[in-house]
Structure formats: C-alpha cells, structure tokens
C-alpha cells in the first residue's frame, strides 16, 4: 500500500504514464522470460536472440489495437507472415544484392499492405524487422528452425501477457459512438415530430437538441478516434461502420436544416408520423450497434416513407400555390432524413451480418452504395489495393519511399562492411518520417540520444567487464525504464535507452566492449543519413504534397456526381459511373487527409479548412445516394422544362465545387460558393405538376443543401487546416 500510493499519484499527474507502464511491463516480462529460457535454459543463443527481437518487433515497434484478447489474436495471426519473412531473409542473406532486392520487394509489400486497415499499419515496422534481422550474415540456413522457434516463443509469450498480465482496459468501441449519435439524432427527430403535431415547446426543444446531435455526430470523425481503433479496414464490417457514420452525418445535417425551417412555418402534420417512425428506427439501429438488440428491420420505415409521399402528394393539391409550398419543401427535408436513416439501418445490418436488399442503384450508377455487402473478403481486399495502386496514393508513395530507403540501407551496410548491420536498417525504419522536414526534425534528438546512450553503455561495459550474470540481472529494469520512459519522453530518450538495452543484451551473447557502442552509434548515423537522402528524393513533402491534388479531385468528382444525379432523375442522357468514381477518389482524399494529420503542420496548407472540404465532398456523395435511393431514374422525364431549370441549378452548384477544387490544386484561396438562385428553384417546381413537382422540390432541396455545405469552405487564418 505504501509503495503503490506514490505510484498512483504519479500516474494521475503524468498523462499516458499508466498506459506506458502497462505496455512496458508486458513487453519486459515477455522479452526477458523468452530470452532467459532460450539463452540460459536451453543454451541456444540463436533462439534467445530471435525470441527477444520478435517480442521487441511486435511489442515496441508495432502498434496493436482493440481489447487485450483481440490484441493477442492479432499477434498470433501475424505468426505465419513472420515465418515467411524470416525464411526469406535467411535464404537471401547469402548475397548482399539478393538481400537488398528482397528488402525492396518485401519492404514495399509489407508497407503497402497497410492500406488494408490500421491494424496492418500498426504491424508494418515490426514485420519489417523480422526480415531485416535474418537477411544479414552469417548465412546459416541450418539455423532456420531455431530462428522460427525463437520467434514463436517471443510472439507467443507476448500474446499471453497481453491477456494475463496487467491488461489494458478495453478501448471505446466505434459502435458505441455510432449508437450515441443515433440516439441523439433520434431525440432530435422525435422533437421535430412533436413540432409537426403542434405540441407546445417542441420546436424549442428541437433547437436545443440540434447542437447536441451535431456534437455526437462530430465524435464519429476518424480524427477523433485513436488510429488503431478506427474502422478503416478493407472488410465489410468496417466499411459498413464508416458508411453508417456518413449516413448519420448527412441525416443530422438535414435534421438541423429542418429545425431551422420549422421556426417560421409549421411542418406538414403528416410529417410527424414519418419523423417519429424515423426516431424509432434510429433507436433500433443504436441498440443493434451496442449489441443489445437484433439487426434493425427496414420494413416499417420504408412503409412510413411510402405513406408520407402519398399524403404529401394529396396535400400538395390542397395547398396554396406559394405560401404553403414552403411546407412541401420541409417535407422534402424530412424525407431526406428518413431515407438517410434507412441507409443507417442497412449499414447496421451489414455490420451485424444480416442480409440486405440487392443493389438498388440505377444500372448506369452501379455498383451502388452497399456494393460491398455480398462481396467475398478477398475481393474487398483486392478492390482496396487496386484503388491505392497509383502514384497519386499517399499509401503507395510511403511504401515506395520506405522500400527504397531500406534497400539502399542494406546495400550501404554491406558496402561499408559494418558489423551488426541490421542496426542501420532499424535506424532508417524508425527515424524516417512522412516528409523530409519531419525526418530532419527527428534526427537531432535521435542522434544526441544515441550518443548519450552509447556513452552510458560504454562506461557500463568498461566498469563491469565481461560478467554475463550482472547484465542478465540488469536487463529487465533497464528494459522497463526504456519501454516506459521512451514513449513518454520522446525520440531522444527512446534511442538512448534502447542503445543501453541492446548493449546489455549483446553483452550476454558475446564479449563486448567500447567497439559495440561505437558500432551502434555509427550504424544509427548511417541509417539516418540513408533515410534522410531517400526522403529528399522520393516525395519529400509527404502526404501534404498530395493532399491538394487528392482533395481537388474529390471535389471535382463530387461535382460530376451532382450533375449526373439530376440527369438520372430527369431522364436525360449522361455518361454514367460518376458516383462510383466519386466514391473511389473519396478514398484517396480520406487517406491523404489522414496522412496530413500524421505529419507536422505545413504552413503552406494551413490556410484551408481541409475537414470542411472533405465533409463537403462526402455530403454530396452521400446525398446523391439518398436522392437515387428514393427517386427512380427518369421520374421527372415528363417535366422537361422543370428538368432544364434543375440542370442549370446543378451546373451552378457543380461549377462552385470545381472552382473550389481548382483553388485547392493551385494553392490559391478557395472562393466561397453561391447558393442556388431561389428563382430557379421556384420555376423548376412551378413548371412541374403533381408528383413530378414533388420530385423537383426534393432535388431543389438537396441542391441547396449541397451548396450550403460548400460555403463552409472559405479561406481561414493559418492553423485552420485541421
């Protein structure tokens, strides 16, 4: 009790100390036990070396997400890949050129595989080390069984301690955030339903709930989640969660618009039933996301939409030409919320493994929004890889940069004839950043830390001499200090303490002296130089350099989708595939935005609200899906004059998006978008009759919302780029 009280107080004062101490303790125990059992219990130096380096690779260089049991499963699933990398490295160690070529190919493959999701990105550095270690001399294929056994021991022990030794509390699940957002949106929608039924105070209650709903939806942004907990993998479950989040975001935006419109005009009374049904559907989706309810059914909501559309058509014939058409436009927004909620239900069903209807998108716009629901997992992976297999992808650029740097480091180490050459590649791997500027920034503390660590290690080796028992006793506390303090204190401390750890480790494998720390310092310097030069030659601006182009392409694709959606509903000829193409470029824009946040802020990019640009494009794409989900192709073909007005309105909105895209690409201020001309919208609805008038109103409301989202993308002061 007397010992734990000060530690508890320290953990409360230092943010992140508890998590670092937990992880450092687990890695230290797994690494020490594995090394001691193999090195001293079995008298096998090779097995001991690979046991401890496998633990360090997967426990220190890697990042694992999820609850403890899932982290353990991730480690065990990585073992086959580890076996392949160690085997290939062992075989190719015979010749430096073969090892460097293998490093180039495997370095790219392992890094590029990270596009499959954050869990793979987290394992990338650790898996690279498992090839780096055996690809250096001595060339001893006969040692392969011992190497594989050592890796099995190290990874197996780490998986065991993840579950059994001071496990981390389970992180918050993304599903729980989805559930909270759905519940908040349900409360707001219920209040609007009460407002439509003229219940006292309902409008004011809805207005109070709108900001709460917006805040809950904002928490769904990936930038608000720890990287390892984001549902960003290539699998259908993670795809469905991301899709559900964007549908909730669209529905919340339209709910806020509906509350705004309800201040001065009453809603159609029949909208109350639809909004209450929408709220019930959202609560069912929330329960399913939490796992406390079954997959939600879409039947009741779909029936409510059909009934409301009929009631709205009947009401239109009784309403005054202009005064009450405002209520019809409100009904269009309410329908938007309901149809977006249906998308929430379908996304939730996919996440729970329940069946969904066949692709409902028009043939020319297929694949539709839920194209991934029935696709085999292998096909989903291939689709994600193929999307990023372009020099315009930041993931492709990063994989090429890392592969070139590691291959060059392997050849440099061989050419210089340094001992422990894998330290050269390890330094390149750990010090190279996404941009050349970030790499240069990381070099100084890393080199200073390595020098000080080498100095401390040299003093220790000279003072103690060759006494393996002392080093065996000293290794666990030094490892615990390194793996706890390093993540908290920064790169310099991490490099310095790790230098001390490896010096103590190698003193137990062979006689060591000043030469060991000299080699360590030289290797880190060589690796840092190779990484810096490669970073200067290959995409030195990192993800930020690609962000403008990717976001510009996305807004241009969104513009095409806006115009083509109107053409599809209006029965006009069009090229097709605009919406699927917009979804594809959206993936690259999202990846570029995520990489931009992982790098040091670039002042040249900070004048743009990149999140607003991304949201504007996403809103257009998801909104187009909603429009096509409730308007059959050609449903406005009988009102060609109205369609002409809507096409001109869509062209103005699309032009605003293209101007914004051009501004992003050319590094000039983004001009604010102008809202569509109200007169054009009035003419479009006036020139259509009956049901066609309602379809025209729906399109008009959507186009106004799309343009309104773009107005948020305006030049801002430096620092607004988040």
Over the stretch 33-78, which tens digit does the pLDDT of each residue have? Answer: 999 999 999 999 999 999 999 999 999 999 988 899 999 999 999 9
Q: Residues 531-553: what's their mean pLDDT? A: 81
Q: Residues 257-273: what's their mean pLDDT? A: 82
How far is it between the farthest Cα atoms of the chain? Answer: 99
Query: What does the alpha-carbon distance between residue 603 and residue 253 come to, in Å, rounded to a whole number?
Result: 31
Over the stretch 612-648, which tens digit does the pLDDT of each residue have? Answer: 888 889 989 988 988 888 888 888 888 888 889 899 9
pLDDT at residue 321, as a whole number: 47
pLDDT at residue 720, as a whole number: 41
Over the stretch 132-146, which tens digit does the pLDDT of each residue have? Answer: 999 998 899 999 999
pTM equals 0.89
Lowest mean pLDDT among 374-378, 562-566, 589-593: 589-593
Sign of CA dihedral 223, 225, 227, 232: negative
Q: Which two tokens stand for residue 205?
A: 């209650």
231: exposed, middle or buried (Cβ count in 10 Å: 0-12, 13-18, 19+): buried
Q: Residues 552-574: what's their mean pLDDT? A: 91
Q: Residues 685-708: what's their mean pLDDT? A: 77
Most confident of 395-409, 449-463, 513-527, 704-718: 395-409
| pLDDT over threshold 90, residue 292 | yes
pLDDT at residue 22, as a whole number: 93
| pLDDT over threshold 50, residue 514 | yes
pLDDT at residue 440, as a whole number: 76
pLDDT at residue 325, as a whole number: 64
Query: What does the alpha-carbon distance between residue 109 and residue 525 come to, in Å, rounded to a whole number?
Result: 26
pLDDT at residue 140, as a whole number: 93
Q: Which two tokens stand for residue 708?
A: 């309104």
pLDDT at residue 603, as a whole number: 67
Task: Specify the higher pLDDT residue, 507 or 543.
Answer: 507
Lowest mean pLDDT among 271-275, 494-498, 513-517: 513-517
DSSP 504-526: HHHTTTS---HHHHHHHHHHHHH
pLDDT at residue 685, as a whole number: 53
| pLDDT over threshold 80, residue 126 | yes
Task: Specify the higher pLDDT residue, 3 or 224.
Answer: 224
For residue 299, how many other CB atoms are within 10 A of its CB? Answer: 9
Q: Tokens 């490892």, residue?
A: 479
| pLDDT over threshold 60, residue 301 | yes
Q: Residues 157-172: what's their mean pLDDT? A: 94
Q: How much of the chain is helix, strand and coil, in % rounded to 5?
A: 75, 0, 25
Sign of CA dihedral 693, 694, 697, 703: negative
Task: Specify the higher pLDDT residue, 192 or 320.
Answer: 192
Ranges of H-type helices in 14-117 = 17-36, 45-59, 68-77, 79-92, 96-112
Q: Residues 79-105: what's their mean pLDDT? A: 95
Q: Residues 677-706: what's their mean pLDDT? A: 69
Q: Are 129 and 78 in contact (CB under 8 A)?
A: no
Most confident of 282-291, 330-339, 351-360: 282-291
pLDDT at residue 547, as a whole number: 86
| pLDDT over threshold 90, residue 150 | yes
Q: Are 621 and 559 in contact (CB under 8 A)?
A: no
pLDDT at residue 7, as a whole number: 57
Q: Are 265 and 365 in contact (CB under 8 A)?
A: no
How sure is the predictor about 95, in pLDDT bands with cuts at 50, 70 and 90? very high
Task: Specify the higher pLDDT residue, 365 or 584.
Answer: 584
Q: Residues 115-122: what's their mean pLDDT? A: 87
Residue 367: asked if its preceding bond is cis (omega within 30°), the reply is yes
How sure is the predictor about 601, in pLDDT bands with cuts at 50, 70 and 90? low
Task: Specify the higher pLDDT residue, 558 or 319.
Answer: 558
Lowest mean pLDDT among 185-189, 250-254, 380-384, 453-457: 453-457
pLDDT at residue 677, as a whole number: 46
Query: What does the alpha-carbon distance between residue 387 and residue 391 come to, in Å, rounded to a whole number?
Result: 11
| pLDDT over threshold 60, residue 680 | no
Q: Residues 87-99: what's their mean pLDDT? A: 95
């Amino acid at each position: 009790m007397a010992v734990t009280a000060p530690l508890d107080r320290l953990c409360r004062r230092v943010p992140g100390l508890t998590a670092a101490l937990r992880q450092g303790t687990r890695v230290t125990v797994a690494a020490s036990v594995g090394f001691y059992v193999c090195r001293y219990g079995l008298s096998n130096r090779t097995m001991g070396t690979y046991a401890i380096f496998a633990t360090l690779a997967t426990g220190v260089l890697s990042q694992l997400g999820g609850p403890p049991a899932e982290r353990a499963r991730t480690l065990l699933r990585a073992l086959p890949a580890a076996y392949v990398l160690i085997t290939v490295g062992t075989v190719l160690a015979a010749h430096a050129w073969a090892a460097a070529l293998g490093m180039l190919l495997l370095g790219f493959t392992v890094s590029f595989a990270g596009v499959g999701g954050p869990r793979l990105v987290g394992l990338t550095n650790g898996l690279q080390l498992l090839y780096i270690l055996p690809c250096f001399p001595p060339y001893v294929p006969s040692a392969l069984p011992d190497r594989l056994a050592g890796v099995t021991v190290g990874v197996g022990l780490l998986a065991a301690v993840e579950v059994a030794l001071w496990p981390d509390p389970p992180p918050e699940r993304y599903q729980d955030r989805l559930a909270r957002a759905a519940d908040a949106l349900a409360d707001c929608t219920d209040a609007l339903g009460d407002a439509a039924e003229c219940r006292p105070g309902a409008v004011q209650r809805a207005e109070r709930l709108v900001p709460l709903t917006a805040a809950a939806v904002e928490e769904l942004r990936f930038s608000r989640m720890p990287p390892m907990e984001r549902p960003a993998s290539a699998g259908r479950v993670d795809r469905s969660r991301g899709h559900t989040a964007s549908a909730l975001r669209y529905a919340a935006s339209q709910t806020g618009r509906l509350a705004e419109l309800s201040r001065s005009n009453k809603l159609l009374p029949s909208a109350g039933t639809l909004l209450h049904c929408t709220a019930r559907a959202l609560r069912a989706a929330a329960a399913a996301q939490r796992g406390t309810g079954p997959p939600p059914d879409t039947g009741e909501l779909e029936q409510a939409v059909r009934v409301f559309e009929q009631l709205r058509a009947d009401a239109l014939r009784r309403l005054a030409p202009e005064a009450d058409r405002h209520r019809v436009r409100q009904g269009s927004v309410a329908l938007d919320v309901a149809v977006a909620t249906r998308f929430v239900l379908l996304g939730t069903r996919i996440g729970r493994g329940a069946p969904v209807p066949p692709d409902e998108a028009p043939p020319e716009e297929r694949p539709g929004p839920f194209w991934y629901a029935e696709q085999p997992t292998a096909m989903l992976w291939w689709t994600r890889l193929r999307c990023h297999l372009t020099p315009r992808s930041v993931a492709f650029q990063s994989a090429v940069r890392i592969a070139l740097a590691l291959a060059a480091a392997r050849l440099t180490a061989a050419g210089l004839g340094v001992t422990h050459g894998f330290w050269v590649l390890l330094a390149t791997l750990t010090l190279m950043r996404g941009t050349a500027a970030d790499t240069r920034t990381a070099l100084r503390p890393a080199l200073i830390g390595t020098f000080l660590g080498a100095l401390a290690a040299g003093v220790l080796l000279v003072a103690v001499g060759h006494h393996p028992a002392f080093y065996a006793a000293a290794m666990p506390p030094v490892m615990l200090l390194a793996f706890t303090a390093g993540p908290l204190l920064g790169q310099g401390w991490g490099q310095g303490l790790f230098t001390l750890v490896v010096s103590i480790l190698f003193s137990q494998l062979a006689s060591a002296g000043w030469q060991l720390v000299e080699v360590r310092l030289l290797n880190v310097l060589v690796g840092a130089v190779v990484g810096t030069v490669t970073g200067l030659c290959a995409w030195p601006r990192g993800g930020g350099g690609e962000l403008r182009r990717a976001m510009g392409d996305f807004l241009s694709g969104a513009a095409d989708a806006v115009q083509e959606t109107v053409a599809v509903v209006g029965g006009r000829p069009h090229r097709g595939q605009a919406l699927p193409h917009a979804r594809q470029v959206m993936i690259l824009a999202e990846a570029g935005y995520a990489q931009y946040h992982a790098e040091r802020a670039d002042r040249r990019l900070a004048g743009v609200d990149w999140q607003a640009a991304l949201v504007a494009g996403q809103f257009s794409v998801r909104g187009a899906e909603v429009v096509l989900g409730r308007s059959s192709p050609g449903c406005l073909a009988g009102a060609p004059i109205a369609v002409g007005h809507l096409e001109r309105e869509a062209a103005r909105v699309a032009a605003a998006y293209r101007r914004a895209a051009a501004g992003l690409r050319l590094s000039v201020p983004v001009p604010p978008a102008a809202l569509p001309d109200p007169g054009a919208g009035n003419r479009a609805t006036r020139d259509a009759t009956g049901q066609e008038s309602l379809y025209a109103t729906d399109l008009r409301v959507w186009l106004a919302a799309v343009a309104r989202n773009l107005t948020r993308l305006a030049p801002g002061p430096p620092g607004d780029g988040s």
